[in-house]
Amino acid sequence: MRGLRKYLTPFAPDQSGAVSVLYELGGLIAICDAGGCTGNVCGFDEPRWFEQKSALFSAGLRDMDAILGRDDRLVEKLVDAASKLDVKFVAIIGTPVPAVIGTDYKALGRMCEKKLNMPVITIDTDGMELYDVGEEKAWLELFRTFAEKEMIDKASERIKPNLDIEKKQGKIGVLGLTPQDISDLQAPKKIREYYQEKEGKEAICYCMGENVCRSTDGLDNHRTAREIEKNIVVSPAALAAAKYLEKTFGTPYEVTYPIVEELVPDMDYRRKKILIVHQQVIGNAMRAEIRRRCQKVNGDPSVDNNAVITVASWFMMKQELSEEGDISLREEDDYMEFIKKEDYDIVFADPMMKRMTEDAYKMAGTGYVADAHETERKRIFIDATHFAVSGKLREEMKKRDERNSDQTNPCLRNCSGSRFSSNRKSSRNDL
């Protein structure tokens, strides 16, 4: 049945994606809702919530606020909250109700800036799109607002491209890092170590891991984005921002995921038919890594040992990043019929999708090593966790497994039994 979800949880909407980009930057984030959308962000869509503080608020809209369009009340609330908190900026995030009543976000932002001595950005999300659409809007708005441009046409007051800026060699920007896209909260640290060890360069991981790991103002990185030697794009939602930085500052960009090797287990991929379901950039990086390994073990160059690899995603699929045959997934039934029809040897996907393939595929973790001498064909499902697909369900299953393991060891139970109690916060704040 079209639109029916029997196996997968609802995907995070666009306002959750916008919040994910802004979460660590030290701003006051106000979601224009009655409380439900904010509760979903804290309860389901943001894995950092129980470990890391952020000034995230609900506007607490009521029926009469929506009917009468009481923007002045929201402005008063924002001014009051900002005066009591140490914040760098204010962000106003849209939801379905403001979209229905036709809220003018730019005007709302100007009203707030007149009262506040700090920048105000607005993200016109409407709750009808998926998380990566909100991320795309937030990435663009951040750099449009905070990247120091220095080249202003005085006559038109428009920004002019400044392509002669001196770049700081050895400094790389990483765009697109959010928990929804990357899933691994340690990814920023790993990426910084990768570029330091492999290329001797400093990696600036915008919007994830910079404030916590390095105790810096995240906005400082955005202000000096013009100095970056090259940008690395790790999710399709950040591609538009990379193009903007290239056009404005002449900063080249590369679309890849540098630590992809850890996502591809050691096994024989030669002549296999493979499906990779993930966000598009990671999916493409995994495909390139598998092809590299196939070429490495090819003996006779006249023999085609390459794997046939298809990348699919439930989310944003940029045409310029797609190969022929790549798939944009929409319905569960379509995916299940496609799997059955194509009869893949190996499927990389979030573990929550394993049950959608019945018993056709054997589960293999990233430590799985196949016997190169096996002659019997085995269909294999490999865990490629994507938080945007499994969300908190996957996290809760892991916690449950940990608790079950702790119960067999009293020492472990005493040490870890209350590890989340001290960090737990309420689901939302009302302005």
CA distance 174 to 207: 9
Q: Is 120's pLDDT higher than 50?
A: yes
What band does 70 get if pLDDT is binned at 50, 70 and 90? low
What band does 51 get if pLDDT is binned at 50, 70 and 90? confident
Q: Is 271's pLDDT higher than 70?
A: yes
**Which tokens in the block code for residue 68?**
């009468």
Max avg pLDDT among 68-82, 87-101, 409-423: 87-101
For the chain, give every residue range classified as CATH 3.40.50.1980.
14-146, 164-258
State the architecture of 164-258 in CATH terms: 3-Layer(aba) Sandwich (3.40)
State the architecture of 263-385 in CATH terms: 3-Layer(aba) Sandwich (3.40)
Q: Is 420's pLDDT higher than 80?
A: no
State residue 163's pLDDT score.
Answer: 53
The pLDDT tens digits for 228-246 are 999 999 999 999 999 999 9
CA distance 87 to 218: 12
Average pLDDT (191-208) is 93
Q: Is 340's pLDDT higher than 90?
A: no
Which of 192, 209, 211, 210 has the alpha carbon at shortest distance from 201?
192
What band does 326 get if pLDDT is binned at 50, 70 and 90? very high
State residue 191's pLDDT score.
Answer: 96
Q: Is 142's pLDDT higher than 70?
A: yes
Determine which of 5-14, 62-71, 336-345 has the lowest per-residue pLDDT on average.
Answer: 62-71
The 8 Å CB, 24+ separation contacts for 1-9 are 1/333, 2/331, 2/333, 3/331, 4/332, 4/333, 5/332, 6/332, 7/332, 7/352, 7/353, 7/355, 7/356, 8/332, 8/352, 8/353, 8/356, 8/389, 9/352, 9/389, 9/390, 9/391, 9/392, 9/393
The pLDDT tens digits for 1-38 are 566 788 888 898 999 999 999 999 989 998 886 666 76
Q: Is 348's pLDDT higher than 90?
A: yes
| Residue type (1 letter), 414 | N
**Which tokens in the block code for residue 65?**
């606020």
State residue 304's pLDDT score.
Answer: 57
Average pLDDT (271-283) is 96
Q: Is 344's pLDDT higher than 70?
A: yes
State residue 129's pLDDT score.
Answer: 93
Assign residue 424 a region: left if phi > 0, alpha if psi is -120 to 50, beta otherwise? Answer: beta
Q: Is 299's pLDDT higher than 70?
A: no
**Which tokens in the block code for residue 151?**
């080249």
State residue 32's pLDDT score.
Answer: 80
CATH of domain 14-146: 3.40.50.1980
**To 10 degrees, the CA torsion angle through 190, 194, 196, 199?**
-160
| Other Cβ atoms closer than 10 A to 414 | 10
What band does 48 get if pLDDT is binned at 50, 70 and 90? confident
Share of the chain above pLDDT 90, in %: 42
Q: Is 375's pLDDT higher than 70?
A: no
User: What mean pLDDT value characterizes the chain?
Assistant: 80
